[in-house]
Amino acid sequence: MSVRHASAAGGALLVLLLGCGGPLAPVEPLGPRGLASSSLVAENGIAVNGIAVNGIAVNGLDAAGSLTNGLAPGTGSNGLAVNGLTQEALAAPEFESWFATAPAYSASVMGYLVRCALGPDRTLAYSYGEASYAWTGNLAVAPIWATGVPIGPAEQELVSACLAAHVNGLGQHVNISVRGYLADGQPIPVTAEEEAGWTNREACFFGNLFDGTGVWNALDPDLLAPSISTPRGCAAEFGAARSCPPMVQAGTCADVCTVGPDGVTWADCAVNGVHYRPLRVFLQDSDVYRCGDGLCQSITENEITCAADCAPPPSTLE
């Protein structure tokens, strides 16, 4: 399994990814530069070493807003599910029509879609008006789709899980390790640095955005203590399950998932009798906030949620 670094772009993209209609929320999208993984590496201070090359990801999709993601067939489709995720497919009329509907949001979706589906050796370029975009791959969970053929069910589930894993309900950029099994049954490669640096099991993500089913998350045990919060916002905070609608909380990974051949990695998760290929997120210690450690982490901790660290000092007035 490989640490795949993904970035979270705050604001309005989970509903966007799930394809619900409605007015567009005024949220700041990622700019063209922010969509290239090389830029993410630079902006997040990750050296170009084995960790970056092998895929540490920066999460960044937000859970508000509304716009079709174009993945599902029918009205509003961008054609990629059928035409393949290739440079040639971006020239198809249905993609051009979809992108023109809301270019900034479409560009943000494409940045995360490419980052999940393609490998770091692939970049898709696109121009619209005076803007030029370069979307670079990372995790490579859909290598067959990347050849220009329709995406199959296994890769649909993996791409959907990957997009869900990148959602950040707090609008923060967090380096995450994404692990799981690919469609051919091989584990996502993980470097020694990744295993050593990303050890906190957060949650597993699964579902299918291509057929309109939606996505779920389920919790892993490491972050369920009442004193723990994170800058992620869509799994568990201070011991309570959280979710970012329309993503649905499905309980714990142990209750709904089974492990694969290595006896450790989740390989299958089921809801309502339907089975999906999941992906699992691990966090660094620096992104796990512990109330009582003497440091007020203002992203999630304040006088109410963590008085031990954030309460003002006693008055010294006599």
The CA-CA-CA angle for residues 138, 39, 49, to 5°, reads 60
In a domain, 95, yes or no: yes
Position of tokens 């950029």?
A: 173
Task: Give the pLDDT score at 257.
Answer: 98
Domain range spanning residue 172? 14-287
Alpha-carbon span 278 to 106, nearest angstrom: 25
In a domain, 86, yes or no: yes
pLDDT band at 89 (very low <50, low <70, confident <90, very high): very high
Does residue 210 carry a pLDDT above 70?
A: yes
Which of 58-62, 89-93, 216-220, 221-225 comes out lowest in average pLDDT?
Answer: 58-62
Total number of domains constituting the chain: 1
In a domain, 109, yes or no: yes
In a domain, 147, yes or no: yes
Task: Give the pLDDT score at 61.
Answer: 52
- Residue 114, CA distances (Å) to 109, 118, 124, 156 in order: 9, 5, 8, 13
More confident residue, 246 or 88: 88
Q: Which amino acid is at 176?
A: I
User: Which residue, 245, 263, 197, 153, is CA-closest to 47?
Assistant: 197
Mean pLDDT of 298-304: 96
Looking only at the bridges linking them, the beta strands covering 248-252 and 214-219 are parallel
Strands (DSSP E) found in the chain: 58-59, 123-128, 131-136, 174-180, 198-208, 214-219, 228-229, 236-237, 240-241, 248-252, 257-259, 266-271, 274-276, 279-284, 289-290
More confident residue, 162 or 318: 162
More confident residue, 21 or 99: 99
| Helix ranges, the chain (H) | 14-18, 37-43, 50-54, 80-83, 93-101, 103-117, 153-165, 192-197, 253-256, 307-310
In a domain, 19, yes or no: yes
In a domain, 238, yes or no: yes
What is the signed CA dihedral for 184, 218, 44, 143, rounded to 10 degrees? 20
Task: Give the pLDDT score at 54.
Answer: 35
Joined tokens for residue 62: 């937000």
